[in-house]
Amino acid sequence: MSGEFRVRELVLGIQGLALLRNAVDGDETFVRERVADIRRFALAEPGEEKLPDGGAAVSELDAAQGYAAWSAVYDSLPSSYIEVEEPVVAQILDGIAPGVALDAACGTGRQTRALLGRGHRVIGVDQSPQMLDKARAHAPRAELRAGHLERLPLDDDSVDLAICSLAMTHLPDLTPGVAELARVVRPGGRIVVTDMHPFVIALQGQCHFVSGSELAFVRNHVHLPSSYLAAFHAAGLRVRACHEPLFNGRLAPGGYEEVIADAARAAWDGLPIVVVWDVEVPAEPGER
């Protein structure tokens, strides 16, 4: 574990973001409530804030530790990120003919099931044995392999379609992961990459979850659209479309934002929380 954050400071930050976004045109009562809440949380003695874990430090887990812990509850918790991402991805996948598909960083098999349902033969890859165990239970017809985004256990030009959902954010550098997707997809094939929007990561930082009875997080890295475009260009890929679905009002259950729901919803209202890239491998090798 290499980092930590404190729930009270996160609460103060969300209150401040809500205040910042509403300071000019916001309702006067709402603005006064945010100022009062900031004062209350800032001046409260430890334990008085009635926050998750009493406002204590939240520990960072590496990807292996984090997803091992997260796997137990991953499928049972509603997620605004997934809820706004899935309709966009579904529309893209509906326009792609069945073939051999890769679900890179497949997790518990959410996209694997979507691909199987559309007639694809699916290979799922994930670094977490615990996530792969869940995926095997959910998608027994898929071929599941242990591996990392930066070193996919597939041959060159071996799949027609690759999808990677909400995982690239954990890589400090996009380039190796994008290059691997491009390597394994045949000329003329498609790649769909979804990620947490850089707005969210830049403003909030990390995506927390409940590990046992405590909060924890796996580190996210900010990848600006320009970084994605540079990685796609370096891999010889062509961008077809970029989608940015907006926050839908869903707050993470069991977390600190539920304690300050009005402020949290106002902080994220109208902001994109996910980015979805639809890219293709040029059909002619000379075009890459």
H runs (alpha helix) in the chain: 7-22, 28-43, 63-70, 80-94, 110-117, 129-138, 174-184, 198-204, 225-234, 261-268
> How far is the C-alpha of 229 from the C-alpha of 24, rounded, in Å?
34
Does 200 reside within a domain?
A: yes
> In which domain, by residue range, is 181 found?
4-281
Number of domains within the chain = 1
Q: How much of the chain, in percent, has pLDDT values that exceed 70?
A: 83
- Annotate 164-193 with three-state secondary structure: EECCHHHCCCHHHHHHHHHHHEEEEEEEEE
Does 287 reside within a domain?
A: no
Per-residue model confidence (pLDDT) at position 72: 66
Least confident window among 18-27, 86-95, 237-246: 18-27
Q: Taking all residues of the chain, what is their mean pLDDT, rounded to a whole number?
A: 88
DSSP helix/strand/coil, 253: coil
H helices, E strands: number in the chain: 10, 11
238 touches 259 (CB < 8 A):
no
Does 288 reside within a domain?
A: no
Does 79 reside within a domain?
A: yes
Per-residue model confidence (pLDDT) at position 166: 93
Q: If pLDDT is split at 50, 70 and 90, which confidence band does 2 have?
A: very low
> Tell me, what CATH number does 211's domain have?
3.40.50.150
Strand partners, 278: 192, 241
Does 214 reside within a domain?
A: yes
For 243-281, the pLDDT digits (tens) are 999 999 998 776 678 889 999 999 999 999 999 999 999
Q: What is the mean pLDDT of residues 165-192?
A: 96
Per-residue model confidence (pLDDT) at position 286: 56
